[in-house]
């Protein structure tokens, strides 16, 4: 199916009683041993429709941050008084604070919230990063097995046109972020689905 037909199929056949998330599953022909991982951040033109709690560690007040931490709060992560994915979904920090986070990398890493320059969460301009994440900036990355990318492009309530434009933005960004050693046909196939719906293969 083309992307418009795939989206219409998924929306029509979704059994959820709530505004379900539209997901994209991409199977990749990548060699994990060659470090052909994909990781970058992307701001979709129509956002994702999903709000995320953003924590920051910065030297000045950040407008829009849900949780402003100091480097002294790192101890709360060690003691599980602050929990990633529970108290915050994204952590944005200035580079000077990264050394403080080294001792909680084993907590932040598995939760997928360890700050990284590649996804824009380690930056001197924390305010700009927070503004972008609030607009729907999302991280695109291969799963630990190195061959699958799971991400979202919006909600079922979005128009098909908005979802299609988000999808096209995603695919364009993937083309620009092709791993250096990956072969030309590194994206094998793409499926669209929603919460509680069958999937549709995009051709």
CATH number of the domain that residue 17 is part of: 3.30.190.20
- Asked whether residue 91 falls in the same domain as residue 76, the answer is yes
pLDDT in tens, 47-85: 899 888 999 999 999 999 999 998 889 889 988 899 998
Bridge partner residues of 189 (DSSP):
27
pLDDT at residue 105 above 90? yes
> Strands 137-141 and 39-43: what pairing?
antiparallel
- Asked whether residue 96 falls in the same domain as residue 126, the answer is yes
pLDDT score at 183: 84
CATH number of the domain that residue 88 is part of: 3.40.50.790
What's the mean pLDDT in 155-168?
97
pLDDT in tens, 165-184: 999 999 999 999 998 888 88
> Strands 54-57 and 67-69: what pairing?
parallel
Structural domain containing residue 187: 3-49+137-202
Q: Tell me the CA end-to-end span of the chain in Å, nearest whole number.
A: 5
pTM of the entire structure? 0.74
């Amino acid at each position: 199916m083309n992307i418009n037909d795939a989206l219409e199929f998924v929306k029509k056949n979704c059994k959820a009683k709530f505004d379900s998330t539209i997901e994209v599953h991409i199977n990749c022909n990548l060699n994990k041993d060659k470090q052909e991982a994909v990781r970058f951040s992307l701001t979709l033109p129509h956002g994702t429709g999903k709000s995320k709690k953003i924590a920051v560690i910065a030297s000045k007040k950040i407008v829009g941050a849900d949780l402003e931490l100091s480097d002294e709060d790192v101890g709360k992560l060690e003691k599980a008084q602050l929990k990633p994915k529970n108290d915050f979904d994204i952590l944005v920090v200035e580079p000077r604070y990264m050394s403080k986070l080294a001792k909680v990398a084993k907590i932040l890493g598995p939760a997928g919230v360890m700050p990284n320059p590649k996804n824009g969460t380690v930056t001197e301009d924390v305010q700009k990063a927070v503004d972008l994440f609030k607009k729907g900036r999302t991280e695109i990355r291969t799963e630990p097995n190195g061959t699958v990318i799971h991400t979202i492009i919006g909600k079922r309530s979005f128009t098909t046109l908005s979802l299609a434009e988000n999808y096209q933005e995603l695919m364009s960004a993937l083309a620009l972020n092709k791993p250096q050693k990956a072969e030309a046909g590194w994206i094998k196939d793409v499926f669209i689905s929603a919460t509680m719906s069958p999937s549709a293969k995009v051709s």
